[in-house]
Amino acid sequence: MRVLLSAALQPSHFFPLVPTAWALRAAGHDVRVAHQPRLAPFVQAAGLTSAVVGPDTEIDADRRREAQKSQAAVGPAEGTGGEATRPSDAENRHHIRIALSLFADSAEQMTGGLLDLCRDWRPDLIVFEWQSYAAHLVAEVLGIPSVRHQFSGPDFEAGIKGWREMERDSLLALYREYGVDDVRPDGHATVDPCPPVLQVDLPADRTYLPVRFIPYNGSGRLQEWMYRRSQRPRVALTVGSSYLWMTGNLSPVQRFAELLSRMDVDVIAAVPQGGAKLLGDLPDNIRLAENVPLELFLPSCDAIISHGGTGTVGTSLAHGVPQILTPPRAMGDPPFHNAERIVASGAGVQVDVQSDPDERIVDAIETVVQGHAYRTAALGLARSEEERPLPLELVGDLEELARL
């Protein structure tokens, strides 16, 4: 069976596909990954065949300014214990439309080259990360069975009111250009690696294929510092590559680093490629890890501080690491949803790095690092995730779908 996988924009959109791609290869199938140029080294490092289509999509100055505007301090809502105010419905729709405009640009840039590739190679099945819309469109044009692949986060199309309408508004002109009258990028089924603690109520009229989330954040070389630690607590600190790409800065890391420098902890600050030059010199108790996969050192950590992105939250859940989450308004509702679910599970806390006073953030970090209840809850979630089907168990379902 020939299977074409497709990812758009950022490495974080490719990484969730890797365990599925490996499972298909292990089952003897021919697998290729279609993507924009920026993702080529990540696809090749994963041991997969890379097929570059279209140019890279760049975030323009106007959209970056919108993301930076949302970084302005917003005071905590009354009664929330200092947690960041969740975006209003209007703000959330605004952020979603900005994000969808980027993915619509990506789809427009990828569709022509992807159509040529599929006409020549003739895949039996297309598996697309859920916002690689070009791959779904090409599958519709050529009549190829397609499968939508979620991340380790919830199905936001099912969970966020108005998502499908905004998706349709962003993509309908492109779909109609290629003779497809409506925008319903559901595929014949959806691969669902989202841990149940994060998932929303899913519609009964669609086919979901549950699978265990296997963390993959890129390839790397294991070094002694990643597993050998001092007697002090160890804390991971990151905001993810999408945040840097959108805002152009790492201001949350800088504030957390200043606060952590006052504490009796060791810190690993994990930043994307290019992040080190933005941070400059760091305090002595903070080790900078630029472009280093989280799963190489996260098992040695007592807690992680992050923006609440799906890949980071899912990786932390898989390793049973308690979380301190500071969702950015620039990314709309999704990281707030993740943070609320983690807090409700007892496996972490939420703070607002933009507006919380120093003492509240320090207290929150100390509470999680020293509190056995957070670790116990996180380990319980990790054990429950191990009960879900492995990617290899998914291959038979994908083979059946390819025969449609």
Write the pLDDT tens digit of every residue in 257-286.
899 999 999 999 988 777 777 777 888 899
- Mean predicted confidence (pLDDT) in 46-62: 91
How high is the pLDDT of residue 83?
Answer: 56
**Cβ distance 85 to 30 under 8 Å?**
no
Q: Is the pTM of this model over 0.75?
A: yes
Question: Residue 247 above 80 pLDDT?
Answer: no
Q: Helix 163-177 to helix 133-142 angle, to the nearest 10 degrees?
A: 50
| Across 50-54, 130-134, 156-160, 394-398, least confident range | 156-160
How high is the pLDDT of residue 283?
Answer: 86
How high is the pLDDT of residue 282?
Answer: 86
More confident residue, 76 or 317: 317
Give the residue range(s) of CATH 3.40.50.2000 domains in the chain: 2-213+388-402, 224-386
Q: What's the pLDDT band for 381 if we cut at 50, 70, 90?
A: very high
Mean pLDDT, the chain, integer? 90
How high is the pLDDT of residue 278?
Answer: 78
CATH code for 2-213+388-402?
3.40.50.2000
- Hey, which CATH number is domain 224-386, 3.20.20.105, 3.40.50.2000, 3.40.640.10, 3.40.50.1820? 3.40.50.2000
* CA gap 305, 218 in Å, rounded: 20
Q: What's the pLDDT band for 287 if we cut at 50, 70, 90?
A: very high
- How many C-beta neighbours within 10 Å does residue 386 have? 9
* CA gap 339, 256 in Å, rounded: 17
- Mean predicted confidence (pLDDT) in 188-203: 94
Interval 336-348: pLDDT, tens: 889 999 999 999 9
